[in-house]
Amino acid sequence: MSTRWPLPELDCGRARLRAWRLDDLASLVASANDESVSRGLRDRFPYPYTGEDGRGWLEHAARNADPRDRAWALEVAGDAVGGVSLHLGRDVHRHSAELGYWLAQRLWNRGLMREVLGAFVPRAMDAFALHRVQASVYEGNPASMRVLEHCGFEHEGVAKSAVVKHGRLLDIHLYARTRRELADLHET
């Protein structure tokens, strides 16, 4: 299976996905430095989100040290205002991936992430020969759950008391978009 994304960018309607660039620092920090954004993400996405955090992320993204971890900047009007990531599985999970995404709070509730994921997920499934793309949503984030459902993801269950975020024990809702056919996929 190729781990190279076949397109340098993807037009998603009002936004586009593209590689992160070092000159994204100012817009990245402006978009990411928001507790409401951080609340739905893992702790490695800090709050406050400083210039040092942004520089570290952009240098990491530029190195692309692990070809199984992919991340794209979500660009609107020339600014990086969010991101989409895909962590490709290994071994028996080689046809599965975990999806991550975030968007600047000022752009919430406009259907933008639905457009982005609606364009991205089918292309990623084809490009990486994926049978399954899954995403986890912390309890208390119904907007993210609706985005996934709108993009063809099904709610598969709840992992009780699965994470601690900001000092609170939370459940995780697991969503997945799957396909069952093998004919179009190459076995590696």
| DSSP states along 23-76 | GGHHHHHHHH--HHHHTTS-TTS-SS--HHHHHHHHHHHHHT--TTEEEEEEEE
pLDDT (0 to 100) of residue 55 = 97
Q: Is residue 101 part of a domain?
A: yes
| Overall domain count for the chain | 1
In a domain, 85, yes or no: yes
Q: Is residue 183 part of a domain?
A: no
The residue range of the domain holding 160 is: 9-178
Residue 87 backbone phi and psi in degrees, to 5: -105, 110
- Is residue 188 a part of any domain in this protein? no
Give a yes or no: residue 4 inside a domain: no
Q: Residue 119 belongs to a domain with what CATH number?
A: 3.40.630.30
In a domain, 86, yes or no: yes
Q: Is the Cα dihedral 122, 128, 132, 137 positive or negative?
A: negative
Question: Looking at the domain assignment, is residue 2 inside a domain?
Answer: no
Note the pLDDT of residue 141: 97
Is residue 184 in a domain? no
- Give the model's pLDDT for residue 97: 97
Ranges of the chain with pLDDT below 50: 1-4, 183, 188
pLDDT of res. 182: 56
